[in-house]
Chains A and B, each alone.
Chain A
């Protein structure tokens, strides 16, 4: 839940070209700079955002204030007319820094010179993921499984666009010319572009079908949540206030992913039980995604997302923490001295062909710690998914592979680790990788199921409807209108 509930409502000014709750009109230079960036953003949206959608009316949620009653207002919107804006959680005048070397000092309202470069790098890296995911999902609308899902995709897309605005505001407001140049570059890089790719590898992967979309929002958007949560602890108060509101929106994205996979599982289990099937080929022949294929996609998305946490041991992460730039997940709820000096943390690594835990200084192991927090939450999601085959009396359970599986970054990069955590030779890995990771055939099969369903209340055969209505009637609401 938004933790803004106790703070008085701060209404968003929609009379401005750029809706905002930061009194933008009182800073003319900044307002003009952002108004110059706005057409470039719209060009980017039209060029790389959801394809062929400019005339659609979509039942979208738009924030009208950042308190918990005001952020969820629904109505039909043509997406290019969506009011992307700048919304910060209201300032708490008494806020103090609560970790690192600056603990107990007043939170910063401006960027200290010594942290300027590091903060800019953090904001640019976070900002780059936002347009990237919109680009990755550009073509999904053409194969939507229902109007309900199509609307959810577009809601995610417009909010990722708004998150870009959030980061661009910080760049323009606090980083001068460098910031403006970075803001322009955010619109120039392209997901998957060989010459000018997005910064992080996972954001250059294709999201070519809806299973990949649901898994992306479950696994990769959750990395976003953990990064944002760590930034919401930042001593740089405008960054903390911006990311807090972004977290509220991000929560729904993860629900779209979790429930999308759950509904896919539900449909597969229904078919397996009805027709007494267990052989994946026979399951596929019924037009649903077999559980083994789903497991391979889980292995892929989880492992690629783990790379986003960076190297387990990182002096940058230590510097960000001691400097007060980026905290731990749920920092305020951790009962220690919030300095970590002298503390240690267990980090897995390979020694003599085996995976062992080594105690590393807690400060340099912050990436590993954030990743472990993430994995715990992901496991809870898998536990919920696994209730579905259990309910159908099926023995299959989705499992998370070992953290060392299929890694390109960190202490497992360059090693070959099975999903069970065995260290393999390269030959062994290459012989068995097709069992663990989605193949070209898997992608082709899943893509073959992706027909477009846009009749109200109808759903593609590979996915269950989202919720039962009265007497099990379908949901017939026009979530998207094709005028």
Chain B
């Protein structure tokens, strides 16, 4: 239980501060982003980029970092990516809340 709950914080320690900020935005937009309809728990580049004002090139670099850290998964190809939390990240966040 403890290990599962600490999954997100442990993994976030392995990525840069901007990537951590981006992860926060993804978590928020996955539930509340303005694009509708979309699959539950899914965020799209359009809404993430509007929500955080991140530069597009930097966004893709950070996305890769979060993917490698096992925090998110990305389906569909550029420029139609759909970004979701990994099941492990989702469970950990649920436990933490």
Contact = CB atoms under 8 A, between A and B. Distances in A.
A468 B35 CA distance: 11
Interface in B44-97: 44-46, 49-58, 60, 76-82
Q: Which bucket holds chain B's interface residue count?
A: 20 to 34
Contacts of A384: 60, 78-79
Interface string A235-263: 00000000000011101101100110011
Of the candidates A72, A254, A381, A477, the one having the most CB atoms from chain B within 10 angstroms of its own CB is A72
Contacts of A2: 52-53
A247 B46 CA distance: 17
A373 to B, nearest CB: 12
A105 interface: no
B57 A259 contact: no
A248 B34 CA distance: 18
Contacts of A421: none
Given A381-B57, A388-B78, A470 B21 contact: no
B37 interface: yes
Contacts, number: 97
Interface residues of A, number: 39
Contact of B46 (A71, A259, A381, A473): A259
A476 B38 CA distance: 10
Contact of A387 (B36, B38, B77): B77
Contacts of A251: 49, 53-56
Contacts of B60: 384
B21 A259 contact: no
Contacts of B51: 72
B78 A249 contact: no
Given A74-B34, A266-B79, A470 B39 contact: yes
Given A252-B49, A255-B46, A391-B77, A380 B57 contact: yes
A68 interface: yes
Interface of B: 18, 21-22, 25, 34-39, 44-46, 49-58, 60, 76-82
Interface of A: 1-2, 5, 59, 61, 68, 71-72, 74, 225, 247-249, 251-252, 254-255, 258-259, 262-263, 266, 377, 380-381, 384, 387-388, 391, 464, 466-470, 473, 475-477
21 contacts: A1-B58, A2-B52, A2-B53, A72-B51, A72-B52, A251-B49, A251-B56, A252-B53, A254-B55, A255-B50, A259-B45, A377-B57, A381-B56, A381-B57, A387-B78, A466-B80, A467-B46, A467-B76, A470-B38, A475-B37, A477-B34
